[in-house]
Each structure stands twice: as structure tokens, then as C-alpha cells.
Amino acid sequence: MSVLLDHLPELWQGLVVTLQLTVASSIGAAVLGVLVTAMRVSPVGVLRAMGTAYVEAFQNLPLLVLLVLAFFGLPEIGIKASPLVTAIVVISVYEAAYIAEALRSGVNAVGKGQGEAARALGLTFRQSLWHVILPQALRTVVQPLGNIIIALTMNTLLAGAISVVDLTEEAKRINLVEAQPIPIFVGVGLIYALIASGVGFVTGRLERRLVMVR
């Protein structure tokens, strides 16, 4: 236990980076996810196909592959970003596929009549999606979205592979000197569990407030 207390400053630094990755990627993934969902339910065939291709591509590639590919591959074609920025962008792009799938199931859960009613009122596709369909879809998928954010939090540790020094990477560095893997990794594991239960708590509260009884 004392080994963790001895290294609190480093662990804190790592935690800050992990939280940065989590928050920034969650926002990025949410924005992209909504866009992809809109494409998948749009009346334009080409957009629907692109949305489907996006989800299929990113759900079927491991995040680590994408991270290393982006970090070492893109500079070969002249695109070079810092490790932190690369990690945030790649994690956002990857998790957006999952968010889009969750949202689409929410959209499917919205009664067909809702869309027809919106159309009958003279709303455009964008208006009816934004004001009628998505708000209702979101309410039904609060918990699945929470689970995706929790998975995203755990996935941020892969950023260590492209030299981002997050919580896990700090733990490895501390262990390299102290050689006490069990207390160090149990401690760090508990911090991740705390973040995850924080997300779970918030989504749980949100769900109770937003859930619709049908």
C-alpha cells in the first residue's frame, strides 16, 4: 500500500491524462456517433451505405491496430499529430461506431407513428430527427451509452502503446522501479473501477429521470 502513497504525484498525473482521454474521446465519439446514426437512418441511399460501412469497419478492427496505424502510418503520408491528439481522435472515431449502433437501436425503438406525425406536420428530415426522433431515442439508450463510456474508459489505456503516459503507463513505470506489481496494479485497478462506477452512477440517475414508460 505504501508503494502507492510514495508515488501519488505520478499516479495523479497519470489519472489526469486518463480523464482527459476519457472526457475528450467521449465527447468526440458522441458527436460522431450522432452523425453516423443520422446517416444510417437518412432517406439518402449513399449516406446510409456510408454509415453502415463506417460502423462495420470500426467495429471489426481492434483499437490497438487503429492506434498504431494512425500513429506510425499517417506520418508516412505527411500527417503527424502529437500522441495525445492522435489517441483522442482514434478512440473517438472507434467508439463512435458503438455509440451509433446503440443510438440506432434507440431510433428503432421510437414508434413509427412519431416519424410519420413529424412529417405530416411539415418538418424536414433534419427537423424531425433532431426534435422528435433523437430525443426519444436517447432516452431509451441511456444505460447502453453508459456502458459504452465505461468500455471507452478502459480502452484509453491502449494509448500507452503510442507513448501517452496515462494511469496504466505510470503504474508500469512505478513498478519498473519498485517491483511490486500486485499492490500497484490492484490500486490502479481500483481507480479505474471508481471511474467506471462514477459513470454508472450518473447514467443510472439519468435513466431514472428520463426513462419513458410505454
Partner 1 sequence: MKKMVAVVAVSLLGLAACSSTNTSGSPAVPGEAKPAANELLAKAPVADAAAILPGSTMEKIKKRGELIVGGSLDAPLLSQQNPVSGEIEGFDADMGKALAKYIIGEPKVKIVNSASETREALLANGTVDVVFQTYTITPERAEQVAFAGPYYTSGLTIAVKKGTTGIAKPEDLNGKKVIAGANTPAIPAIKKLAPQAEIVTFGSDPECMQALKQDRGVAYVQDETLLIANAQKDPSIQVIGNPFTQDPYGIGLKHGDDQFKTFVNDWLKKTQSTGVWQQAWKNSIGTVVKGEAPAPPQIGSVPGS
- Residues of this chain that bind partner 1 (CB under 8 A): 64-65, 68-69, 71-77, 80, 83, 160-163, 165, 169, 172-173, 175-182, 185
CB of 112 to partner 1, least distance (A): 43
Q: Which residues contact 179 (CB under 8 A, 6 or more apart)?
A: none
Which one, 101 or 169, has the nearer CB to partner 1? 169
CB of 89 to partner 1, least distance (A): 16
CB of 107 to partner 1, least distance (A): 35
Residue ranges of alpha helices (H) inside 110-211 are 112-120, 125-128, 134-140, 142-155, 167-178, 181-210
Task: Output phi, psi for 211, to 5 deg.
Answer: -60, 145
CB 90 within 8 A of CB 32: no
Which one, 121 or 186, has the nearer CB to partner 1? 186
CB 145 within 8 A of CB 102: yes
Which one, 130 or 185, has the nearer CB to partner 1? 185
Angle between helices 167-178 and 8-40 (to 10 degrees): 150
Which one, 187 or 204, has the nearer CB to partner 1? 187
CB of 45 to partner 1, least distance (A): 28
